[in-house]
Amino acid sequence: MARWVILMCLLLSIVEARGRRNGNVFDVRDYNALASGNTDDTKAFMSAWKDACKTEGKTTFVIPSGTYMLNPIVFSGPCNGQITFELKGTLTAPTNNPSSDTTWINFRYLDHITVNGGGKLDGQGTSAWGRKNGNPLLMGLGFAFVNNSNVNNIQSVNSQNAHISMYQCENITLSHITITAPSNSPNTDGIKMAKSKGININDVHIATGDDCIAMITGTKNVNISNVYCGPGHGISVGSFGSNTDEFDIQDIYVKSCTFNATSHGVRIKTWPTALTHPLKASNIVYEDITIVDVSLPISIDQEYCPSNKCGKKVSSGVKISNISYRNIKGTSKGDVAIAFKCSESNPCQNISLENIDLKRKRPRRHRTLKNLCFNVRGASRGIQEPKACW
């Protein structure tokens, strides 16, 4: 018996050593990840990451097919090489977050990380959304202080909170990603970013219960193209401009996107609260946008105050300027195509409308589609359907 155990141990350690030495490939199965779907594999992932992060040169961290239960986990750098996090299997989140952490899968302090592999993140939101107390509902995939990185070819389903978030990141490309959650799931933003710049988002399909994309405080130089949003609350700049310490949002380019059955399409939202320092949102272009049965296709709302959470309303201190809407076509589900509710103390400036062609989904007698404009100045050219405010 004892000899048999020794032999097995020897054999196992040979297999393990081979796995670890196999080029710079670190496979979580070689670190005793069980992939049973309901046993905690967090420790195995952590040990594999430690070894991968120490290794110089190009390194692959592999998660083979199978279902792995992980508690909140931090893949932290700086690392010695460039890591590809190859997710082929499915990761499942705990339905009851056992910690006070707010993000489930965290990447931090990294340069040149790639996340890919065709696998899936399952946030288990369906059993968490209704929960009234306990630990925080988890954001799915979080990048903080990460530069020069790529995320592509992965799926995120039913995140408990936002699906993908970026905080203080620079030069990140997200592409070929599918994000799915029900239209009535709370706070399940698709992709959310703050204090980040140099962000590319291409070929992404988002169906969710909140904003498909939200760009909040300090977001700069973002290109978004070929994003399909629906259901969801649209692609948003903001909300921002509440009384916390915030930064400007600028240089945002949204091109060739489709909104299908969303509450909003292209949207800018700021709070009606007093600011300790002035803020601006500027140089934003929306181009070649397809609108299908959207309740409010184009909006700037400087009185954004969901469930009256802003106390005494004052005119927004955010200055909005240089916003261009070009080639926006389709059908509106509500009575308003464009709603510009700008700040009285900081009117919107240089808002340009070119070739706007929006029709009511079902034409009704006595109810034609219209635009609403307050405290806004701009120019219009080409088709203006419904009739432009200026």
Ligand X SMILES: *[C@@H]1O[C@H](CO)[C@@H](O)[C@H](O)[C@H]1NC(C)=O
Residues of this chain that interact with ligand X (CB under 6 A) are 77-78, 109-111, 145, 147-148, 170-171, 198-200, 221, 223, 253, 258, 260-261, 280, 282-283, 285, 292, 321-322, 324, 350, 352
Please state, as a whole number, how many other Cβ atoms lie within 10 Å of the Cβ of residue 367: 10
Beta carbon of residue 290, minimum distance to ligand X (angstroms, whole number) = 6
Nearest distance from C-beta of residue 94 to ligand X, angstroms: 28
- β-sheet bridge partners, residue 258: 228, 290
Shortest distance in whole angstroms from residue 373 CB to ligand X: 17
The residues that bridge with 166 in the sheet, in sequence order, are: 143, 193
Could you give the residue numbers annotated as active site? 233
Rg, C-alpha atoms of the chain: 24
Which amino acid is present at 323? I
Neighbours of 208 (CB within 10 A): 28
Residues 6+ apart with CB under 8 A from 186: 129, 209, 210
Place of tokens 């009256």: 308
Q: Which of 323, 263, 320 is nearest to 293 (CA)?
A: 263
Please, what is the minimum distance in Å from the beta carbon of residue 112 to ligand X?
9
